[in-house]
Structure 1
Amino acid sequence: MRPGAHGRTTRASDLATQTADAVSAGDDLAKFVDPFIGTAQQRHDVIPGDGVAGAFPGAAAPFGMVQWSPDTNGRAAAGSGGYRYTDSVIDGFSLTHLHGTSCPAAQDISIMPSTGSYPFYPPTGAVDEPSLWGAGFSHGDESATPGRYSVQVTSPVGDRIGVDLAAGAHAAIGRFSFPAGVAGSLVLDVGRRADGAGRADLHVDSATGEVSGSVTSRVFCRQPAVSTLYFVARPDRPPAAVGTWSAGRWSLSPDVADEGGPTATSRSASVGVWLRMPPAADGAVMLRAAVSYTSVEGARANLEAEYPSSVDAVASATRAEWNRRLSTVCVASAPRSELRTLYTALYHAMLGPGAVSDADGTYRGWDGSTAAAQGWTARSGIAGWDAYRSSFPLLAMLAPDVATDTAWSLMAGAMQTGSVPGWTLATSRPDVMPGDGGTVLLAEAVALGLPLDPAQALAAALASAARRPFAAEYDRLGFVPVGHAGPADAVSITLEYALADFATAQLALAANRPEIAATFTERSTRWRSVWDPVSKLPAPRSTDGGFLPVEPTTLPGYTEGTAAQYSWLVPQDPDGLAEAMGGRRVAVARLADFLARLDDGPIGAHAEMGNQPSLLVPWLGGSFGAVDLTIDALDRTRRTLFRDTPDGLPGNDDTGGLSAWYVLAWLGLGPVQPGTDLLIVTPPVAPSVEITLPHGQLRLVNQQVGGVDGRTPVGLRRDGEPLPGPWTRFRDLSAGATLTWSLSDQPTVRGTQN
């Protein structure tokens, strides 16, 4: 057990990991969460950043606006999490974080305790400028639990300083404990954020020490992503001395501002404040902070609405909220290591989408307007390309209120900007990934029973289809071509558009528009337009219709994957895909070979289960009549690529996408066909699991045939009635049901199951 105020077990080698714990809804499930999982790389990068999990260990509430977490001196290589487990220096504790991307993001308003005199020259905003207040730390002095983070750091002059942070939805509180008799300082570096700031400003009230201001982002994953975060930070007593800076110069002014360049390789805006705090009897300084995307007044109102009275009080309330969220999955019995991996995955999946509306519902729209979310919460960090495969279906099942917020946020974004956002970050929409993932999410929302008007969602989807990049070429040719005017990932875009067309057809059916459904169902077959009948692989095509030569490991034409890995991105038509491959038996054999290796990287001929293009593939075994192949792939992925250690995630978690996949695989609920509520079901890992769904309890039970443990299904019943195959509709489970598996240790012949 690591030393620290909250004593959290974190070592996989503990003997306790070999024991089984009974878990019920009343248990403190937060004790199984290890926020350090995903803060170290499991493998070296194959392409830049693809091995970074991007987790952060700091204090965060479920789906909140604030994530107060440490940023280490190697944060440039830590993705959006800002924290690298192998580092030994903390540069600052910033108020916002995005979970799981390889591209840096957020890390706004860096706050650092320090001792000693201030430096002669303050920060300038230069690219990769080291922190002037970096402090050493060790993991033995560090503790993290849901909603709370603490550490002891050593300042540049050798003083030990305790840091204890707790976060709510919009506001947070920190306790900074300096050595007795030492006048400590708090430094707020407003421009020091991931990828730098386009603009930053602050005002300090010298009489009270309250600091307020804003910072404006500039890019995300090399795409424009401009949004402004406002903040208020209030110490518990007036400072003894105050200094501000701007662009490398100290100032006596209480108001400072600076502007930086527009890209991540240009100088960042740099402003900040240094507060020298008078010594206290216990050496502690309390700092309360809140943020807003609307205004400084909005941040101040958020602070008053959620006034954090103490670290203990906030940590306790946030932990209770985490337990409420985590208790939607109750496991009768499982080894402690399994429970840590499972509940940490569920925790990661529930860090976002984060709130972007204030406590009173006001938010900044994606067109820059001021809007109001009445009766719901505006949310961002919606990664459509990643989310439709795993995290959104999981949230629709376990957190339907947040999934509804997400769908309504997409609809608001569509009304404000003219199309459904594909990727949102704060109040921007960088839309960094290919396809039309936001439309797929809307179809899933309707199919999974969320309160979203199908007709309105269909109108938004149709508007998006007309405004897609390369929409004219896609409409004219039936595919997106490569060439001088075409994109490098044309095959991926075509496959994603065909899937989005299928999702649009589902919305049309729900809206009782059969003529539109027929049109978009036909468009959804355009995956065939990039299917090369010679190589039996999806292949790039030129504007004259010719196929470019491809091999399984061909990279040009595909996003974060190869021709082999994109061969399976036809979830809307598994029968047609099997036929194109040469028949079901050939498809099953090819699938078995593809899944023989699960970590082939984004340049391989086999699966890469640490990245989105492969996540749906194992479920196809059930579609092809080889559910044992699905079960085997899920079990091997869980056992070999996910674990309860800092390197326990196999790639970018991308706002919880890999973690959500793990939870679904653990439970045996596979969203095999995005845009619908069709599930491929497999036996859960534990003998008995109870899941709280929107309108009832779902119980998953494994029964062994012959008294011998096995994972091969020989029967499946729903509420006592036999099912013809390993699939069901979510609508048949959402009001409550019992799925009972009969399992054997005898194998079946693949491709012959129902």
Structure 2
Amino acid sequence: MIRLITGCILICTISRAQSPAGLVNPFIGASTSAGAAGIYHGLGKTFPGATTPYGMVQVSPNTITGGDNGSGYSYEHTSIEGFAFTQMSGIGWNGDLGNFLVMPFTGPLKTKAGKQGTHGEGYRSDYLKSSEKAAAGYYSVLLSGYNIKAEMTAAPHSGMLRFTFPAGRQSGIQIDLARRVGGTSTRQYVKVLNDSTITGWMKCTPDGGGWGNGDGHADYTVYFYAVFSKPLRNYGVWSADIPDSWTRKLEDVESDRYQQQIGKAEILKGIKEKEGKHLGFFTGFDTKEGEQVQMKAGISFVSMDGAAHNLQQEIRNWDFDAVRNKAHDQWNRELARIKVSGGTTEEKKVFYTALYHTMIDPRIIQDADGKYMGGDGKVHTSSTFNKRTIFSGWDVFRSQMPLQTLIHPSLINDLINSLITLAKEKKKDYLERWELLNAYSGCMLGNPAVSVITDAYAKGIRNYNVPEAYRLSVNSQEKFGNGTLGYTPGDLSLSYTLEYAYTDWCVSRMAQWLHHPEDEKKYARRGENYKNVFDTEKGWFRPRDKEGKWLPWPDSGRMQPWYGTMESNPYQQGWFVPQDVDGMVALMGGKQKVISDLEHFFEQAPENMMWNDYYNHANEPVHHVPFLFNRLGQPWLTQKWTRAICRRAYHDKVEGLVGNEDVGQMSAWYVLAAIGLHPVCPGDTRQEITSPVFDKIQMGKFTIKTINNSAENIYIQSARLNGKPYSKCHIDFRDVAKGGVLELVMGPTPNQQWGINN
């Protein structure tokens, strides 16, 4: 009997480890290090903590408050300042959230975190790196400074922490209510409800930094309701006196003056209620060796009652392992939207971690009862869609949202509804390009929401107010577009002009479908405005000023970083004419010249695919480029380079993402390329076929099978769709959606006869 039980445990453990959730490694990309990346943008900037699919709560370790460390965590840091209940994933621009920072401790209470590299000056603690573990829905670590084991798990609107203490008479848990990744919350409130429960809120405004150090206009309030497993006996609040004359942006909060003020905060023992500018809460207790003390908390962006209801709905007792197992099961269900077999263990870990990272945002922001805080500052109730937030538009329109149209169309409906209703609530007549917690942040450029709407409509995803979506798309192009000049002048002329020309084309598509013939003609013409920034003398795209003159051509020509472009150079940005590849190719001198130029573009990229001036996979503008070879009649080069990028740019390690995760985009590219399908032009239902990493991919009713696939056999020799020979290097979205089987025979050398007839 014992042998049978042991065997069952072993089999179950192995099975769990090989399940989709068991293959997830949340440490992939979990570094902000600019040094390791070789560029100020840093690496993946993901967080390793516990969350659920698209959940509102992320309980994660935080190693740093300041700088361009949007996830609050970087793997190479040697100390932890606490465990927050909200995090952003894979972003730059200083970041935001990182609220409700919980830290267990032993010894005297300290009211400031202290800085990296210091010891004992604050509540931050060194940690044993070898003890650190992360899985889908779970994280644990040994805080060596306190000899406390910290474990955390999550539900969609709530989280749970379990601390294993040493024996001591000065043990405790403290919560920094002011803490925020990119600055500070500017006002806090806490109230002790009974001998186990506290509630309160933290108000975060642009005055306290945050998203873009305030330039991103993030303005939100986090409400909490927290319960402790050990009675509140020796508790209190600390309150730092922040003078009214002090500014409170990130650089202020990081200053020695500000930190000294926090360090001498007044400690108010036994106080039951307090509002202030920089508050924290603590509870102290005696502990026996190995004693476990737990804390669970509900989070809401609506109200304290909402936070309480969220917790009561999701975590009703103190069974930490049950919450952890439920989170694991939730991940298994979501990740099973795509099932892969074959490939190496590393490839499967990379794949399912990538899929995991695409399922963090756009996250739900409504409470369990459907209430959410609107852009008008009023509470609304959603009955027809799930209110979502964090739309990193400039990044995610390229791969992340097209992926979701394949595996999670209801999420696309949610997102579009969220953007449309937000525009109404904020009395804006256009769509935001980078939305965070109701903020029209204005981050990056273009009109990516127009792309998402057009792509959704083209694919039959239409459960939203279509006329309003169209009206807002038109208004977005009129407000932010190439206008009467037919191009956008200035230092970012190329990026703006090419992006706006593409979304003009998107509007023309919508106009055609919705029977607005005049708009169709108008925006189709504007979709060709990319030609207005092409200099035939130089043979490449070139920025103009408002008088129409070309900006001075640099010595390095199209290789010059930031010459008319955003985070790129003209060589990289110039390939972005997805709506008219044939027209682009004609401008550039014809197919053979373009193919040769593209091959050079890829061949000059470094082996590790880190940031560079050629094919720069670390940044989004080039993500469609490998698939252009399909459009140029040489699909074997698409197959060659997508397999190379999958192999060289993605790994099962912290440095496994060559650039910022960017809210799912970097990972979504891998998911699509690895299954063998990726669009060049969202808004067009054509999906480019490339060489899958895996032997078999099941995605709903559609299956992709490969024969003789291997690391050497990367070239498609022939194909069959539903048993019939298939000679195209692309497939329509509708054929994928209705289901079937695409079978690809693979080989070690290109078949230059397959897929060339478009």
Deviations 1:670-691 (A, max 9, x none): 1110222221111311222211
Structure-2 residue corresponding to 1:528 = 531
State the alpha-carbon separation in 1 of the partners of residues 136 and 24 from structure 2: 7
Match of 1:594 in 2: 601
Aligned letter for 1:110?
L
Give the C-alpha shift of residue 425 in structure 1: 1.3
In the alignment, does 2:487 pair up with 1:479?
yes
Q: 103, 116, 131: which is aligned to 1:141?
A: 131
CA distance in 2, matches of 1:733, 1:154: 52
Deviations 1:727-754 (A, max 9, x none): 1211121021111223333335599932
Which residue of the partner structure matches residue 188 of structure 2? Answer: 201
Matched, 1:336 2:345: yes
Change (3 A) 1:395 1:401: same
The Cα offsets for residues 242-297 of structure 1, whole Å up to 9 and x where unpaired, read as 22122259xxxxxxx99973633233852211211343685221111111111222
With over 3 angstroms needed to count, the CA separation of the structure-2 counterparts of 1:206 and 1:283, relative to structure 1, is: farther
> How much has 1:478 moved relative to structure 2?
0.6
Change (3 A) 1:260 1:166: farther
Equivalent residue, structure 1, for 2:7: none
Counterpart amino acid of 1:443?
T
Preserved contact between residue 215 and residue 228 of structure 1 (Cα < 8 Å)? yes
Matched residue, 2:451: 440
> How far, CA to CA, are the matches of 2:492 and 2:380 in structure 1?
36
Q: Does 1:460 align with 2:469?
A: no
Mapping for residues 371-450 of structure 1, pairs under 5 Å? 371-416=380-425, 417-450=428-461
**Equivalent position SS for 2:578:** coil
Contact 2:366 2:388 in 1 (8 A): yes
Contact 1:716 1:726 in 2 (8 A): no
Amino acid paired to 1:354: R
Q: Which residue does 1:553 correspond to in 2?
A: 559
Compare 596-605 and 496-505 and name the one that shifted more: 596-605
Task: Report 1:146-545 matches (<5 A).
Answer: 146-155=136-145, 159-205=146-192, 207-211=194-198, 212-218=200-206, 219-222=210-213, 223=215, 224-247=217-240, 261=247, 263-267=249-253, 269-279=277-287, 283-309=291-317, 310-416=319-425, 417-452=428-463, 453-468=465-480, 471=481, 474-482=482-490, 488-545=491-548
Q: Which moved more, 1:266-275 or 1:433-442?
A: 266-275
8 Å CA contact 1:239, 1:278 repeated in 2: no
SS in structure 2 of the partner of residue 552 of structure 1:
helix
Matched residue type, 1:540:
P
After TM superposition, list the pairs within 5 Å mapping 1:679-694 onto structure 2. Answer: 679-692=687-700
Please say if residues 142 and 149 of structure 2, whose CA atoms lie closer than 8 Å, have aligned partners that are also in contact.
Answer: yes
2:109 match: 118
What does the per-residue CA deviation read over 1:357-397, in whole Å, with 9 as the maximum and x for residues that have no partner?
A: 11111111223332221132111111111111111111121
Please state how far the C-alpha of 1:595 moved relative to its aligned partner. Answer: 1.4
1:124 is displaced (CA, Å) by 10
The number of residue pairs the alignment matches comes to 705
Question: Which amino acid letter does the alignment assign opposite residue 352 of structure 1?
Answer: D
Q: Which moved more, 1:416-425 or 1:63-72?
A: 416-425
Pairwise CA distance, 1:429: 2.5
In 1, the alpha carbon distance for the partners of 2:229 and 2:202 equals 21
Which sits farther off after the overlay, 138-147 or 235-244? Answer: 235-244
Match of 1:50 in 2: 41
The CA deviation at 1:405 is: 1.3
Instruction: Kindly provide the amino acid, as one letter, of the partner of residue 372 in structure 2.
Output: Y
Q: 1:76 to 1:722 in 2, by over 3 A?
A: farther
Question: Aligned pair 1:566/2:573, yes or no?
Answer: yes
Q: Residues 367, 553 of structure 1: CA spacing in aligned structure 2 closer, same or farther, 3 A cutoff?
A: farther
Residue 576 of structure 1: SS of its match in structure 2?
helix
Q: Deviations over 1:50-90 (max 9, x none)?
A: 222111110000100000000114x5467222111111211
Alpha-carbon separation, structure 2, partners of 1:601 and 1:477 = 37
Cα deviation, residue 42, structure 1? 8.1
Q: Distance in 1 between matches of 2:118 and 2:150?
A: 24
The one-letter amino acid paired with 1:54 is K
CA distance in 2 between counterparts of 1:45 and 1:565 reads 23
TM-superposed deviation, 1:450: 1.8
Classify 1:606/1:402 alpha carbon distance in 2 versus 1 (closer, same or farther; 3 Å).
same
Q: Report the Cα distance in structure 2 between the residues aligned to 1:335 and 1:751, rounded to whole angstroms.
A: 27
Paired AA for residue 464 in structure 1: S
Shift of 1:709: 6.0
Question: For each residue in 1:453-492, what CA deviation from the matched residue of structure 2 results, as whole angstroms up to 9, or x when unmatched?
Answer: 4333211201222322xx5xx312011111xxxxx32221
- Match of 1:79, SS? coil
Taking the aligned partners of 1:674 and 1:70, their CA distance within structure 2 comes to 36
Matched letter for residue 502 of structure 1: W
- Write the distance in 1 (CA, Å) between the matches of 2:652 and 2:646: 11
More deviation in 545-554 or 316-325?
Answer: 545-554
* Cα pair distance change 1:686/1:40, threshold 3 Å: same
Query: Is the 1:598–1:637 contact (alpha carbons within 8 Å) kept by the matching residues of 2?
Result: no
Say if 1:46 and 1:177 are closer, same or farther in 2 by CA, change over 3 A: closer
Quick one: which of 686, 697, 702 aligns to 1:698?
702
Partner of 1:661: 669
Q: Quote the Cα distance in structure 2 between the aligned partners of 1:624 and 1:25.
A: 44
Call closer, same or farther: CA 1:127–1:544 in 2, change over 3 Å. farther
In structure 2, the residue matched to 1:83 is 73
Alpha-carbon distance between aligned partners in 2 of 1:48 and 1:242, rounded to the nearest angstrom? 46
Question: What is the deviation of 1:402?
Answer: 2.0
- The aligned counterpart of 2:629 is 621
Residues 180-216 of structure 1 deviation map (CA, whole Å, 9 limit, x = unaligned): 3544211110111111125121213174253322231
CA distance in 2, matches of 1:438, 1:45: 33
Q: Structure 1 residue 498: deviation in Å?
A: 0.9
Quote the Cα distance in structure 1 between the aligned partners of 2:23 and 2:115.
41
* Bigger mean CA offset, 456-465 vs 263-272: 263-272
Among candidates 29, 44, 55, match of residue 38 of structure 1: 29
CA deviation digits over 1:286-334, x for unaligned, max 9?
1111111112222122112222532111111111110011111212222
CA distance in 1 between counterparts of 2:117 and 2:753 reads: 54
How far off its partner does 1:347 sit?
Answer: 0.6
1:20 aligned partner: none
Amino acid at match of 1:719: N
* Mapped contact 1:561–1:602 kept (Cα < 8 A): no
Change (3 A) 1:682 1:137: same
CA separation of 1:746 and 1:161: change in aligned 2, threshold 3 A? closer
Q: Which residue does 2:122 correspond to in 1?
A: 132
Q: Output the amino acid matched with 2:180.
A: R
Aligned position for 2:274: none
Unaligned runs of 5+ in 1: 1-22, 250-256, 483-487
Aligned mates of 1:117, 1:170 — CA distance in 2: 32
Deviation of 1:536 (Å): 2.2
Percent of paired sites with the same residue: 28
State TM-score, norm by structure 1: 0.88
Relative distance call for 1:166 and 1:151 in structure 2 (3 A) is same
State the distance in 1 between where 2:246 and 2:316 align. Answer: 33
